[in-house]
């Protein structure tokens, strides 16, 4: 329908002298339409060929280059992502192996330390027992020697006291026998 209307309008314009052509608008004068149509065809044909043969191939090449660059970038990004994932898995494996090794080292160290403590405790207990035995022997030696010293001191004191009280000097053997007997009976109570 539109084509039909536009054709009718074009035919009417050709047949009727337009008032605008007479008024000074030559592009509306039908006498110049043939040259205008020629130049229109020449200009649009040259534009069409220059666009289709020069500009469009350059634009297409640029678009293809961009597509190739994007594709290459996407492929390299995918490769890098795969590499990163692989490295991450290796890292996680190293971390888990490291944790296991640390746990094994800790267990070994704990066992070694426990064994060292037990050995040192045994050695310390042995030293303590030896020192205790030495101390017991020294105490018993001191005890025995102190009993004899106490007996001697007691004999001297007793003889001096008796001598001072009575004025007579008693027999040392009788004082010694009395003190020895008394000390044997009472010494166990205090020592």
Mind listing the pLDDT tens digit for each residue in 48-79? 999 999 999 999 999 999 999 999 999 999 99
Q: Which residue has the higher pLDDT, 121 or 189?
A: 121
Spatial separation of the C-alpha atoms in residues 152 and 142, rounded to whole Å = 15
Q: Cα Rg for the chain, rounded, in angstroms?
A: 66
Interatomic CA distance for residues 184 and 144, integer angstroms: 12
Domain ranges of the chain: 12-190
pLDDT tens per residue across span 24-37: 676 777 777 888 88
- pLDDT score for 146: 72
User: For the whole prediction, is pTM greater than 0.75?
Assistant: no
- Chain centroid to CA 48: how far? 67
Q: How far is residue 170's CA from residue 152's CA, in Å, rounded to a whole number?
A: 15
């Amino acid at each position: 329908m539109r084509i039909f209307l536009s054709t009718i309008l074009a035919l009417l314009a050709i047949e009727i002298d337009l008032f605008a052509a007479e008024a000074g608008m030559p592009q509306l004068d039908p006498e110049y339409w043939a040259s205008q149509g020629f130049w229109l065809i020449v200009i649009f044909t040259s534009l069409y060929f220059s666009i289709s043969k020069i500009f469009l191939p350059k634009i297409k090449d640029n678009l293809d280059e961009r597509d190739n660059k994007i594709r290459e970038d996407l492929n390299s990004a995918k490769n890098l992502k795969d590499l990163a994932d692989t490295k991450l898995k290796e890292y996680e494996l190293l971390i888990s192996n490291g944790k296991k090794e640390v746990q094994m080292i800790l267990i070994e160290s704990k066992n070694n330390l426990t064994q060292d403590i037990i050995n040192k405790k045994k050695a310390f207990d042995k030293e303590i027992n030896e020192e205790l035995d030495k101390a017991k022997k020294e105490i018993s030696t001191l005890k025995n020697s102190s009993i004899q010293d106490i007996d001697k001191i007691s004999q001297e004191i007793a003889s001096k006291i008796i001598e001072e009280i009575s004025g007579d000097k008693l027999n040392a053997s009788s004082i010694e026998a009395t003190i020895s007997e008394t000390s044997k009976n009472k010494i166990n109570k205090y020592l």
